[in-house]
Structure 1
């Protein structure tokens, strides 16, 4: 259906692709992955509207190919009073009305031939999307997504996650040959995410889905397209198989890279010897030998093992704490004309030490969301706040951050950092990256440059507008700003949204190492079980505490089986052992372990 051949494209400030090639064919459900800012959404835009772009290479699209599209930025129109069923059926109803209109005109019009031609064209369009069975097909899709009970509701009554699923169903039912979805999973709760998985797996057409969601990646897709460092590679198989292949390749490359390094070092030693001899000997042959050896060295350096798909640098996310909650604080005192710094020790009652207390809290938005909620978070607790879309999680987090309600008590020594899922709340889109960090208290370009380099950004990005960055890049910038605060209490609203898998893993490590308190809204199952202490779950307008063990069991009983859980745990243990073996350059052990891993992957 679509073939990309040696395509190159870039912006004035950044090259995106260097002669990339891939093809999409019938039956393929393709995950499109790559680090934030690598150009995935731009490539989708080129496919959708190639006339807008000046690119090198070829893009061939079958003339009969109908392309559907789901944006990552869909939002519910609260003024839309259309029912869910009629909203999905919009295209069918329009064609049906057109057919009825033509039939009525044919009863009195003398232009029968023209009308018959028009009638046949509209009828073909109607049949191409299986219009005769549209009622049944809509009901089946709604049932598959667990939304059948909502079919007579107004679209305006849906949560954001439910509306995203409705949009997916609507696009799928008009039978595009290729359906492109740009991060359709963002902000979906786990039930809606599972419904999206079911819709993807049941779809008969070609899918191209930009996603970083590990749940979808592990349970959908039979093809992977990976864009990294201006290069692209295809893999026919599952994401689990692809990751295993990358790990095998990493073992091979690291072994070869060490051999390369040793050869380069040996050649450098010979060059130094020849240079010393040539300096003290005027024979022409000595100079020729030196030049020949330098050329060999240049060739060795040029051919040094490079692999854009396995040597991806994770951002170095740090969440440092300036002062623990209930720790020490300092203030300045002037004595006899001299400046003196006094350290005032705070020694609270250990039984009264906390980061946050919420007592009898209620919240409403059009309707009552939360009622008489009570909970406490201790100074080093890492807590996930979960619940279905639209149950008041973000409302609660914002009220805690504002700290202007008597029901909310934040410890006096708590310094709060806040990451918003609505990035415009924390980042000014008209600012450049440099301006954003100057406003955050940085004093020089060199200071900003050194800080953001830890997060994978180069110097050129300092002059880029925030509005020009990808969603993942903006979230990484939010994390970079928060880390500079050295806050001891973090409020994180969907921090993994838009982040690539490498950044997700880096964030999980940073959270695990963090010495303060965290309250995090998340629907990312992996992040929750990997680094949270417990869960606060919203149900029936109240909040109850749940252990990670019980949360994990609840998810697996609903969506997996016991064997899958055990296999996944074994897989993670073996992968960790392989990484340790690679650090010790024990390649023989790494190869043996990779065979064990292959057996586990085949079962998954």
Structure 2
């Protein structure tokens, strides 16, 4: 259906791809992964409108291939005054009215041939979306997404997550040959995420989905495309198997790297001796030997370089506290309420201590962000923040905390950095190279903007981190780095998240919105709640075993115990087969 052949493309300040190739065949559900800013969204835009881009290489698309698209951005526009059914069925209604209009015109027109041609075109388009069964198909999809009761609700009353699902359903029902979705999971709560999984798995057509969501990656796709360091590789199979293949490659390459390092060190001693002799003796043979040894050294070093899909650089995130408060209470919320058109939260009471890591969870549209923003502003009598502490805030509305008209360089100068080299060195720890420093913040990807927010927070000191969907748009490598940073942080965290893995890996307990108030829930009960709805008991136990073995393998690699790592990888393979 789709074939890229030796595609290369560059921005004025950045090379994105170098001779990348891949194919997408009928019926495949393909996950498109890669680090933030690697060019995934740009590649999709090239695919959808190739004439707009000056690229090298070939792009082949099957004739008459219709492409549906779901953007990562929240788009409601002028649809707010119509119902969910009207929004989803807009194309169906348009074609139905067009056919009726043509038939009416035929009754009085003398230009029958032209009208017959228009009628056939409209009829073909109507049949392409299975127009005769459209309403039945729509109700089936709404039911699958657990949105059946919302059919006659105005679109304006949907939560952001519900509207995203409605967008997905609308595209699926037009039955394009290929559906492209760019991070459709961003900001979805647990229930909506499960609905998205059901929609993806029920779809019979071809899909290309950019996602970093580990839940979807583990349950929805039979092909992986991985873009990294200007290169691309494709893998036919599950994401879990792809990750295992990378881990095996990592063990192999690190073992070779240790042997190569020893050989490089031995060769360098020979080079040093030959260079010393060459300065005191002028024989041509000694110069030739030195030159030959240098070439050997170059080959050894080149071979030692790790594969771009194995050694992926993670941001080095570190949060630092301003005060050592031991077991003090840093935040008290008492009798808090929030309302817009209706009451969102009422009679909310909780406190957070100086080292608590807390996840705030609940369905989309229940007031989580409102509460977090009110805490950050600290302007309500119902919110009391310990006067000795410093707070930091990460917003899901990235433009709220970042001036997108500034360059990255100017932004960090304004934060108090003194020199270009200081900024460049600091941001290199967050995977930004020098070319990014001169870009406008608005030109960065969603993941890069979130990493930039994290870099800003890390540059200062704070005792309480208020994080609103911090893993949204982040690639899986950055998600893991953030989880490690939160686990190592000595202060307190209140974090809105719908990412099950992040909550399990970071939180001490959760605060869950229930009936317009908030109650505390232990991690044990949270796990039981999530797994009862989305997984069975065996899956939970296997996931825990898998993570434990992966941790042991990483430790074995750190200690260069490759035999142990190989043995553990066999154990891991057996677990993955059960999963």
Say yes or no: does 1:21 pair with 2:21.
yes
Q: Which has the larger radius of gyration?
A: 1
Per the alignment, residue 310 of structure 2 pairs with 310
Following superposition, the deviation at residue 443 of structure 1 comes to: 2.3
1:245-284 mapped onto 2 (5 Å cutoff): 245-284=245-284
- In structure 2, which of residues 332, 356, 374 is the aligned counterpart of residue 399 of structure 1? 374
Per the alignment, residue 532 of structure 2 pairs with 557
SS at match of 1:569: helix
Say yes or no: does 1:105 pair with 2:105.
yes
Per the alignment, residue 193 of structure 1 pairs with 193
Per the alignment, residue 443 of structure 1 pairs with 418
Query: CA deviation digits over 1:375-421, x for unaligned, max 9?
Result: 11111111100000000000011111111110110011121100000
Per the alignment, residue 496 of structure 2 pairs with 521
Query: CA deviation digits over 1:283-332, x for unaligned, max 9?
Result: 22222222222222223233334300000111100011121347xxxxxx
Cα distance between partner residues in 2 of 1:564 and 1:286: 65
- Specify whether residues 26 and 267 from structure 1 end up closer, same or farther in structure 2 by C-alpha distance, changes over 3 A only: same
Following superposition, the deviation at residue 77 of structure 1 comes to: 4.1
Cα distance between partner residues in 2 of 1:78 and 1:194: 28
Per the alignment, residue 150 of structure 1 pairs with 150
1:164-243 mapped onto 2 (5 Å cutoff): 164-243=164-243
Cα distance between partner residues in 1 of 2:407 and 2:285: 57
SS at match of 2:387: coil
Following superposition, the deviation at residue 70 of structure 1 comes to: 0.5
Matched-pair contact (CA < 8 Å) for 1:78–1:157: no
Cα distance between partner residues in 2 of 1:231 and 1:449: 25
Following superposition, the deviation at residue 424 of structure 1 comes to: 0.5
Matched-pair contact (CA < 8 Å) for 1:78–1:155: no
Q: Once structures 1 and 2 are overlaid, which stretch shifts more, 362-371 or 286-295?
A: 286-295
Say yes or no: does 1:474 pair with 2:449.
yes
Query: CA deviation digits over 1:184-236, x for unaligned, max 9?
Result: 00000010000000000001111100000111111110000000000000000
Matched-pair contact (CA < 8 Å) for 1:76–1:160: no
1:565-580 mapped onto 2 (5 Å cutoff): 565-580=540-555
Cα distance between partner residues in 1 of 2:437 and 2:285: 51
Following superposition, the deviation at residue 437 of structure 1 comes to: 1.3
Cα distance between partner residues in 2 of 1:75 and 1:95: 23
Q: Once structures 1 and 2 are overlaid, which stretch shifts more, 239-248 or 284-293?
A: 284-293
Per the alignment, residue 351 of structure 2 pairs with 376
Following superposition, the deviation at residue 48 of structure 1 comes to: 0.8
Cα distance between partner residues in 1 of 2:220 and 2:161: 19
Following superposition, the deviation at residue 79 of structure 1 comes to: 6.8
Query: CA deviation digits over 1:160-184, x for unaligned, max 9?
Result: 0000000000000001111100000
So what's the TM-score if we normalise by structure 2? 0.98
Matched-pair contact (CA < 8 Å) for 1:382–1:519: yes
Matched-pair contact (CA < 8 Å) for 1:77–1:156: no
Following superposition, the deviation at residue 455 of structure 1 comes to: 1.0
Cα distance between partner residues in 1 of 2:229 and 2:502: 26
Matched-pair contact (CA < 8 Å) for 1:75–1:160: no
Matched-pair contact (CA < 8 Å) for 2:320–2:458: yes
SS at match of 1:429: coil
Matched-pair contact (CA < 8 Å) for 1:72–1:184: yes
Per the alignment, residue 59 of structure 1 pairs with 59
Matched-pair contact (CA < 8 Å) for 1:76–1:158: no
Say yes or no: does 1:354 pair with 2:298.
no
So what's the TM-score if we normalise by structure 1? 0.94
Query: CA deviation digits over 1:239-295, x for unaligned, max 9?
Result: 100000000010111111122222222221111222222333232222222222222
Say yes or no: does 1:385 pair with 2:357.
no
Q: Once structures 1 and 2 are overlaid, which stretch shifts more, 68-77 or 227-236?
A: 68-77
Query: CA deviation digits over 1:509-554, x for unaligned, max 9?
Result: 0000111111100001100010101000011110000001100110
Cα distance between partner residues in 2 of 1:325 and 1:425: 30
Matched-pair contact (CA < 8 Å) for 1:274–1:290: yes
1:86-125 mapped onto 2 (5 Å cutoff): 86-125=86-125
SS at match of 1:246: helix
Query: CA deviation digits over 1:18-39, x for unaligned, max 9?
Result: 1000000011000000000000
Following superposition, the deviation at residue 81 of structure 1 comes to: 1.5
SS at match of 2:181: strand
Query: CA deviation digits over 1:454-504, x for unaligned, max 9?
Result: 111122222111011100000001001111221001100000000000000
SS at match of 1:80: helix
Structure 1 unaligned blocks of 5 or more: 327-349
Cα distance between partner residues in 2 of 1:585 and 1:79: 58
Per the alignment, residue 439 of structure 2 pairs with 464
Q: Once structures 1 and 2 are overlaid, which stretch shifts more, 178-187 or 288-297?
A: 288-297
Kindly report the root-mean-square deviation, in angstroms, between the aligned alpha carbons of the 2 structures. Answer: 1.2
Per the alignment, residue 341 of structure 1 pairs with none
Following superposition, the deviation at residue 78 of structure 1 comes to: 7.7
Per the alignment, residue 323 of structure 2 pairs with 323
Matched-pair contact (CA < 8 Å) for 1:256–1:305: no
Cα distance between partner residues in 2 of 1:378 and 1:286: 70
Cα distance between partner residues in 2 of 1:386 and 1:135: 34
Per the alignment, residue 571 of structure 2 pairs with 596
Per the alignment, residue 339 of structure 1 pairs with none
Cα distance between partner residues in 1 of 2:504 and 2:303: 42
Cα distance between partner residues in 2 of 1:117 and 1:453: 61
Per the alignment, residue 410 of structure 1 pairs with 385
Cα distance between partner residues in 1 of 2:413 and 2:288: 55
Q: Once structures 1 and 2 are overlaid, which stretch shifts more, 141-150 or 58-67?
A: 58-67
Per the alignment, residue 160 of structure 1 pairs with 160
Query: CA deviation digits over 1:17-69, x for unaligned, max 9?
Result: 01000000011000000000000001011001111111110011112110010
Cα distance between partner residues in 2 of 1:39 and 1:148: 37
Say yes or no: does 1:36 pair with 2:42.
no
